Amino acid sequence: MSEAAIGGRLAIEGGAPVRTSLLSYGGQWITDDDVAAVAEALRSPWLTGGVRIDEFERALAEYVGAAHAVAVNSGTAALHVAAFGAGVGPGDEVITTPMTFVASANSVLFHGGLPVFVDIDPVTLNLDPLAAEAAITRRTRAILVVHYAGHPCDLDALRELTRRYSIPLIEDAAHALGARFHGTPVGRDSDFAVFSFHPVKLITTGEGGAVVCREEEAATQMRTFRSHGIPSTGREREAQGRWQYDMEALGYNYRLTDFQCALGLRQLTRAEAFVARRRELAAWYRRGLADCEGLELPVERPESESAWHLYPVRLRLERLRVDRDRIFAALRAEGIGVSVHYKPVHLHSYYRERFGFREGQFPVAEAAFHRLLTLPLFPRMSDRDVDDVIAAVRKVIEHYRR
Ligand SMILES: *Cc1c(COP(=O)(O)O)cnc(C)c1O
């Protein structure tokens, strides 16, 4: 990064970029020990259905302080499984947020249910509990929230609401492993909380996910759903010297392999270090960008500790001469792998065409969407990388200021 690159012409207009190699917005951190643990699992007799799944589930439950964990082969599968555990079925309504990845709402459709979107809080961009309450009908089967960017939702208000209506709260906590609310880890005391272990998430198993829950019966049902609706496992049957199995319900094959669990077990031991580094990077961004007039930075409410899965800034478009997509392109040209989280779910073609959703229905989410830009944030980022992002953002925003 040269002084000329920082102060000079934008790369998108032919100037020198802040970086010559693209810094991605997120990514895993794999060590030699991780690789060795996976190799060991690959040499063991059970590549799938072995003991490591139990070990990983126990370790994950312990990490979040949950009673039970059910591991599956993606966060999306975990959402499908959690909605099953919550009893979502055909014709059921599930109140949820449009400001998320499509998989959250899709999990309701997988069961023949109907996602009922409500608007979001303009500060945290999490589902607004008052809007949720206003949308409750006799057909409401659950509320499905997303801890956006790793910042916990208002769990006090949401739990009070779901208890009052005797419906479960499903938390899509794909961003929020390691986050805390009133000092308590997200996932502890949850009816259902879902995690993802995709490489951009806090810990990774390649693909992978899990549901944590309080009730043993729900955990048992979800384990059966994960494996064809057959309650016994192959390993149990082998140990008992029997072949007989019975399919009790319609299930899927959502099993996580033993070598993925080996990686997950290793990664979990570093989860706290990953969160700490993410929190450090977020604080660094705040210091480096607080006085940047074209930007609104994400905040952390006093009762919350965000896991800082994302660092989504909002552009103050009234102070800029260009739109978000131009800023996006300009930062990409500077070598900064910015991203957008999210195009609201109801604006995707499938949702528009199948359900007739249109622009204007959820104004807070839609207004945020047009201003959102996610800056790179992942534990392996070097101090130099952070400085590059800050320099590039300042350069681009300053250039396009009104
Ligand atoms: C990543 C993510 C998912 C899906 O998880 P996968 O493991 O990729 O299937 C669901 N919801 C949210 C909010 C996510 O960020």
Please provide the average confidence, as pLDDT, over all residues in the chain. Answer: 97
Closest CA to 281 of 166, 160, 197, 386: 386
Give the residue-averaged pLDDT of 56-61: 98
Give the residue-averaged pLDDT of 261-278: 98
> How far is residue 368's CA from residue 373's CA, in Å, rounded to a whole number?
10
Q: Which residues line ligand 1 at a C-beta cut-off of 6 Å?
A: 74-76, 100-101, 103-104, 146, 172, 174-175, 196, 198, 209
How many Cβ atoms sit within 10 Å of the Cβ of residue 361? 16
> Which band of pLDDT confidence, cut at 50, 70 and 90, is reported for residue 119?
very high
For residue 211 the two structure tokens come to: 């549901």
pLDDT tens by residue, 279-289 = 999 999 999 99
Specify whether 201 is catalytic. yes
Length of the chain: 402
pLDDT tens by residue, 178-206 = 999 999 999 999 999 999 999 999 999 99
Would you say residue 76 has pLDDT above 80?
yes
> Which band of pLDDT confidence, cut at 50, 70 and 90, is reported for residue 19?
very high
Kindly give the distance from the C-alpha atom of residue 319 to the centroid of ligand 1, in angstroms, as a whole number.
33
pLDDT tens by residue, 339-373 = 999 999 999 999 999 999 999 999 999 999 999 99
Greatest alpha-carbon pair distance for the chain in Å reads: 76
Q: Which residue has the tokens 């609201």?
A: 344
Would you say residue 6 has pLDDT above 70?
no
Rounded to 10°, the helix 258-268/52-64 angle is 30
Kindly give the distance from the C-alpha atom of residue 16 to the centroid of ligand 1, in angstroms, as a whole number.
36
pLDDT tens by residue, 375-394 = 999 999 999 999 999 999 99
Kindly give the distance from the C-alpha atom of residue 239 to the centroid of ligand 1, in angstroms, as a whole number.
35
pLDDT tens by residue, 129-143 = 999 999 999 999 999
Task: Classify burial at 240, counting beta carbons within 10 Å of its beta carbon; exposed 0-12, middle 13-18, buried 19 or more.
Answer: exposed
Kindly give the distance from the C-alpha atom of residue 174 to the centroid of ligand 1, in angstroms, as a whole number.
6
> Of 80, 147, 201, 270, which residue is the catalytic one?
201
Give the residue-averaged pLDDT of 327-334: 98
> Which band of pLDDT confidence, cut at 50, 70 and 90, is reported for residue 5?
low
> Which band of pLDDT confidence, cut at 50, 70 and 90, is reported for residue 4?
low
Q: Which atom of ligand 1 is nearest to the CA of 196?
A: 7
Closest CA to 196 of 131, 98, 264: 264
**pLDDT number for residue 3:** 54
Would you say residue 174 has pLDDT above 70?
yes
Mutate to test the pocket of ligand 1, among 148, 172, 204 (most ligand atoms within 8 A of CB): 172
pLDDT tens by residue, 214-269 = 999 999 999 999 999 999 999 999 999 999 999 999 999 999 999 999 999 999 99
**pLDDT number for residue 8:** 84
Tell me the C-alpha to C-alpha distance, in Å, between residue 17 and each of 81, 206, 355: 45, 32, 44
**Sign, Cα dihedral of 49, 52, 54, 60:** negative
Nearest protein CA to atom 14 of ligand 1, as residue:
174
> How far is residue 142's CA from residue 95's CA, in Å, rounded to a whole number?
7
Give the residue-averaged pLDDT of 50-72: 98
**pLDDT number for residue 46:** 93
Nearest protein CA to atom 7 of ligand 1, as residue:
75
Give the residue-averaged pLDDT of 270-298: 97
